[in-house]
Amino acid sequence: MLCFTSMKMVSSLGLVPLMIALVASWSSTAVVHGQLKNGFYSSSCPKAEAIVRSAVESAFKDDPSIAPGLLRLHFHDCFVQGCDGSVLISGSNAERSAPQNLGIRGFEVIDAAKAQLEASCPGVVSCADILALAARDSVDLVTKMFVWNLLKQSNGPSWAVPTGRRDGRVSSASQAAVLPSPLDSIAAQRQKFAAKGLDDHDLVTLAGAHTIGQTECRFMSYRLYNFTATGNADPTISQSFLAQLQTLCPRNGNGLKKIPLDRDSHGNFDTSFFKNVKAGNGVLESDQRLWDDANTRRIVENYAGTIRGLFGFRFDFEFSKAMIKMSGVEVKTGRDGEIRKVCSRAN
């Protein structure tokens, strides 16, 4: 949800087999925080990952836009109390009801997977793990949906998901204030990511998830009108893109109207997002601010790439690593937490 040379040319450079070997070698041994490990359910629930995959595939078949929704749901879970499934708990004072979580979706997909898992392996697979697996499967399905597009140089990442998370018992709307915001400066973004053990490289790489999906006009239209003291639009938006955005999101228009986060390529998981940021075509203010800071700009430039193809593969690889790192943030393992019977409430 990356390669910009032909597959023939990349193969001739030896990059395809090299990267496949690197990814396979790195993923097969990846173990993150606590007791997470690949294949955690291999004995206790051997079909766990296949069941989650099936639930995501079924939802994706009906509505491909569920993929970025599930990916975002996992992000929002990990940034509040760690990756413990607390965002899935319902209630008027729970995380999912917080203003910062407006528009998050995909709960029904997680619930469907959980119901199937409880029927197959009662009390074994956590909701937090289901969410981490569903995020990976969503990215993979977007890639495979466009497999026919390989001749147009489309590709995308996938990764082995270390599992073994347990579910949190508490979910508080007030704690959602720590979530990154579309209005955040680089300093604010950096602080929020650093609080979770994530650095600038992770920040930029994970922002690349905005290569798929949409946002609503209400989250960015303030950039288009009266943004400055003189009443002009955000000067960091390119003039050609500004006109396009003002057409999509007219003044006093429908704030719920959806627009792509990645101009001209929101259906492919590729490096177009970074090229757009470089060109002043970032939709969210927080995304465009990645170009304002010398360190994050350098990373954006690396992914945007002047050497076609090389940095596409690098983004695939780096995004997988960043997702594994993020999905290990403040996890509960061992005797911490619980395995919820229903994802929307504690036992």
Task: State the binding site for Ca(2+).
Answer: 77, 80, 82, 84, 86, 95, 211, 262, 270
Q: Cα dihedral sign for 75, 130, 313, 238? A: negative
| Active-site annotation holds for 201 | no
What count of Cα atoms within 13 Å lies in the side-chain half-sphere of residue 265?
23
Long-range contacts of 115-123 (CB under 8 A, 24+ apart): 116/51, 116/54, 116/55, 117/45, 117/48, 117/51, 117/52, 118/341, 120/45, 120/47, 120/51, 121/41, 121/44, 121/45, 121/47, 121/48, 122/341, 123/339, 123/341
Q: Cα dihedral sign for 124, 128, 130, 132? A: negative
Q: What are the angstrom distances between the C-alpha of 129 and each of 44, 85, 124? A: 14, 8, 11
Annotated binding site for heme b: 210
What count of Cα atoms within 13 Å lies in the side-chain half-sphere of residue 255?
8
Annotated binding site for substrate: 180
What count of Cα atoms within 13 Å lies in the side-chain half-sphere of residue 174?
1
What count of Cα atoms within 13 Å lies in the side-chain half-sphere of residue 40?
22
Query: Residue 79: which H helix or E strand, with range?
Result: helix 66-81
Chain position carrying tokens 């007219």: 250
One-letter amino acid at 71 equals: L
195, 186, 327, 259 alpha-carbon torsion, rounded to 10°:
140
Marked catalytic residue, from 33, 76, 201, 266? 76
Interacting residues of 103 by C-beta distance below 8 A, sequence separation 6+: 216
CB burial class (10 A; 0-12, 13-18, 19+) of residue 256? Answer: exposed
CB 233 within 8 A of CB 225: yes
The residues that are catalytic are 76
